[in-house]
Amino acid sequence: MATLDRLFHAARTVAVVGAFPAGGYGTNAIENAARYGFTGGLYPVNPRHKEVAGLPYFPRLEDLPQPADLVVIATPAATVPGLIATAGATGAGAAIVYAAGFAEAEDQALQVEVRAAAAQHDLPVVGPDCLGIAGFVGGFPPGWALQMRAPRRQGRVAAIAQSGQLANHLVGNHRGLELSYVISAGNQAVLDAADFVDWLADDPATTVIALVVEGARAPLGLVAAARRARANGKPLVALKIGRSTQVLVEEMVSGVEFFIGGRGGHVPTVLFGLGGVNTEALKDVAVALAPVGPNDARAMAHSLRAAARPPRDVDALVDAIVRVSQLVAGCSDKLSEIDINPLISREVGCVAADCLVVAR
């Protein structure tokens, strides 16, 4: 595997494929660059537009004035293998893939295509199904899919998380956490936690490594990387999510993805909108003061502009919105926020696939 230097602070030219004037992950990555003082070359790539965030578009990766150290890919899953191959062929140093729809969605063939394209050009790839890398080291290149707050003090702790939602809460926290990097590893088609720990073991900006994993794709590699970090005087603090001596079999949940969120404090609110990657990309969200009754909750469920993805069991969604709003209102002095994303609407009922609660 090639060095990860061009993925991190050595990246001086960055191409963002799929940035749109209307916003979305690619545009967020470009705007984050301005907030965090990136002074290198930024090249939005999109054949259908002329300008975004004051920067001219390039139709293709092949049209860039120079090879990109980092290619950020914010396009649908089906386009990713071809873009990885093109990025490698044009001399790119690394790539980040935001799109979902690979092995985590049971599309093993598409995942294999990504690995093959990356292997052909020895191209390090973060993701897919990730939020990228957020760096708080001065001049860090754009790589985070969601909007980042104003710059904060650089810390010495780097965090690696397979959970995008957990990684995003580390990036967006308002408790004064000082971090060097937050890495959203995604489903680790090419780079995995061991690769990141191995690179951070030599990173002068990082003195402590935090790791939150659901599973290790290459456990021996992770052990070797952890030993390198320890030899360099860097503690590795790891949290393995879930433990059992039994074999766990979980139902594969499918349906329409929504999210329900809540914010505590002096003005408790409840939020409802499309879930998964659409939460940030479409910003189609209904907000109300908590608590809400069934009629208001039903109005929220029917208020989304994306009528092409209607709820399946509206009554179940209404009940979920009401219950979350009651929780937020009743615990507003103790609760900072709650995010259930995705909440999967089924033919009958709904299922919370992931939930994060942050106390005040």
Distance CA 158, CA 201 (A): 10
Q: Under CATH, to which class is 256-359 assigned?
A: alpha beta
Q: Who has greater pLDDT, 304 or 261?
A: 261
Take residue 139 and report the two structure tokens written for it.
């001049």
Q: Identify the sign of the CA torsion 14, 213, 338, 208.
A: negative
Q: Is the pLDDT of residue 250 over 50?
A: no
The pLDDT confidence band at residue 105, using thresholds 50, 70 and 90, is low
Domain 13-240 falls under CATH 3.20.20.120 = no
Which range scores top for mean pLDDT: 114-128, 239-253, 268-282, 312-326? 114-128
With bands split at pLDDT 50, 70 and 90, how would you rate the model's confidence at 195? very high
Residue 294 has pLDDT above 90, yes or no: yes
Closest CA to 14 of 159, 118, 140: 140
pLDDT at residue 180, rounded to an integer = 92
What integer pLDDT is reported at residue 308 of this predicted model?
A: 43
Query: Across residues 205-232, what is the average pLDDT?
Result: 90
Q: In angstroms, how far is CA 115 from the centroid of its own chain?
A: 20
For residue 236, give the nearest of 202, 200, 198, 210 by alpha carbon.
210
Domain with CATH 3.40.50.720 in the chain: 13-240
Note the pLDDT of residue 254. 59
What's the mean pLDDT in 34-59?
84
Other beta carbons less than 10 A from residue 57's beta carbon: 18
Least confident span in 97-101, 185-189, 220-224, 307-311? 307-311
For residue 108, name the pLDDT band (cuts at 50, 70, 90).
confident
Indicate where the chain has its CATH 3.30.470.20 domain(s).
Answer: 256-359
Please tell me whether residue 159 adopts helix, strand or coil conformation: strand
User: pLDDT-based confidence at 248, cuts 50/70/90?
Assistant: very low
More confident residue, 225 or 342: 225
* Mean of the per-residue pLDDT values of the chain: 85
Alpha carbon 128 to chain centroid, angstroms: 9
Helices and strands (H and E) in the chain: how many: 9, 18
Highest mean pLDDT among 34-43, 195-204, 239-248, 304-313: 195-204
